[in-house]
Amino acid sequence: MNQASFPPVDEQVALLERGAVDLIDTEQLREKLQRSIKTGTPLTVKTGFDPSAPDLHLGHSVLLRKMKHFQDLGHRVIFLIGSFTGMIGDPTGKKATRPQLDREEILTNQKTYERQVFKILDKETTVIDYNDRWLGKLGSDGLVKLAGRYTLARMMERDDFRKRFRDNQPISIHELLYPLLQGYDSIALQADVELGGTDQLVNLLVGRDLMKEQGMEPQVVLTVPLLVGLDGVEKMSKSTGNAIGLEEEPTEIFGKTMSIPDDLMWDWYLLLTDTPEDEIEEKRRQVAAGDLTAKAAKQQLARRLTARYHSDSDAQYALEEFERVFAQGGAPDDTATMAARPDEPLTKLLVRTKLATSNKEAHRLVTQGAVSIDGERASDPFAPLESRSAPYLIKVGKRRFVRLEVS
């Protein structure tokens, strides 16, 4: 790679700082970038992902997109799968010890990651590596030596460990090893830069400390925000049900994006799209002034995200389907039609058609006004549907439908 492969340092830093929170430190990054230009050698940029769940979602894409920024600038990015650390589980931000995954779960999840990551990263230039390749060889001697390079007092400076200790919540010994093992990953890969979410800052700094003790040039640390999920409150997570998976259908990506609170879309524009920041601010100004509706601005966001993970034609179809279903009161083309008896209570119908997981949830959905029949809000959880020739259209929440033929 020759010198011309790298843009000027100022141009690189401007792109890398977009949406970033912590950069430790900026001057060191500039020095590394300048050296890469001078020598024609790309930086090694590492980001670790523990395969603790079977799918990647838009929350993960914030980090992946930052990796892509480095990649677009000509640097070497390593998508590091925590095939060893995943069996421990990152304790960051946890109020209790994570359940430990077995080897089979790790292998199943990492295969999914290996496929989905290329929805964002370039397949030809991305390096995929696995930390059991070196951590599995540490052995008991190596692990003891590694543990001897950090003190318990420094580890207990972490907010999550300190709070759990104060609240008499157990902290397992293996959890204390996690930041050290993550730091050792940086030594093994000779990382110039490590990326992570803001909740990972302490772990990333451990890597800097260990590299210094090893006599290596410490890695630069860059963190990005944790993406707030569909509910507008909690960080995006499959476990909380507020996520959009990278492989979800176009209509799901579009419809779920349209469901986010209006104020949240500006962060999504910044973190999930390449929309220039001045264009984002102009849209925000137009919405505040009433020159652009929040719905229209959000539709533009939904189209961009849908097209990014599918195609322009898929995005257009998803827009039309959204308008037909939600703006005009229709139902999706693929809405299932099922049979029902006229004496069957509404709660049991909801459970049987999988619009609710239990009678208790079905009762709650009806009483909270989340269930409609032919566009009219249902009020009686136990009311049966009368026989008729035309099917009923049952809607639960904003996105779940079924047609019921009662005879």
DSSP string, 211-269: HHHTTSPPPEEEEEPPPB-TTSSSBP-TTTT---BTTS-HHHHHHHHHTS-GGGHHHHH
In this predicted structure, the answer to whether residue 94 has a pLDDT above a threshold of 60 is no
Strand boundaries in 33-119, DSSP class E: 44-49, 76-81
Q: Report residue 60 as tokens.
A: 């993960």
Instruction: Over range 3-17, report the average pLDDT.
Output: 88
Highest mean pLDDT range out of 80-89, 182-191, 317-326, 390-399? Answer: 182-191
What is the 8-class DSSP label of residue 51? -
Per-residue confidence (pLDDT) for residue 372, from 0 to 100:
83
Per-residue confidence (pLDDT) for residue 383, from 0 to 100:
86
**120: number of CA atoms within 13 Å, CB side?**
29
CB atoms within 10 A of CB 290: 7
Cβ neighbors of 118 (< 8 A, separation 6 or more) are 126
Per-residue confidence (pLDDT) for residue 1, from 0 to 100:
40
Q: Report residue 365 as tokens.
A: 């959905």
Structural domains of the chain sorted by starting position, each given as residue range(s) with its CATH number in brackets: 3-224 (3.40.50.620), 250-327 (1.10.240.10), 337-406 (3.10.290.10)
Instruction: Over range 362-376, report the average pLDDT.
Output: 84
Residues 241/246/251/252 CA torsion (nearest 10 deg): 0
Per the prediction, the chain carries an average pLDDT of 89
Q: Closest Cα to residue 85, out of 246, 212, 197, 203?
A: 203
Largest CA distance in the chain: 80
**Percentage, residues of the chain above pLDDT 70:** 93
Strand boundaries in 29-172, DSSP class E: 44-49, 76-81, 127-130
Look at 340 and 250; give whichever has higher pLDDT: 250
Cβ neighbors of 316 (< 8 A, separation 6 or more) are 303
Report which residue type is found at 299: Q
Q: Is the peptide bond before 132 cis (omega within 30 degrees of 0)?
A: no
Phi first, then psi: give them for residue 8, nearest 5 degrees.
Answer: -60, 155
Confidence label for 2 from pLDDT (cuts 50, 70 and 90):
very low
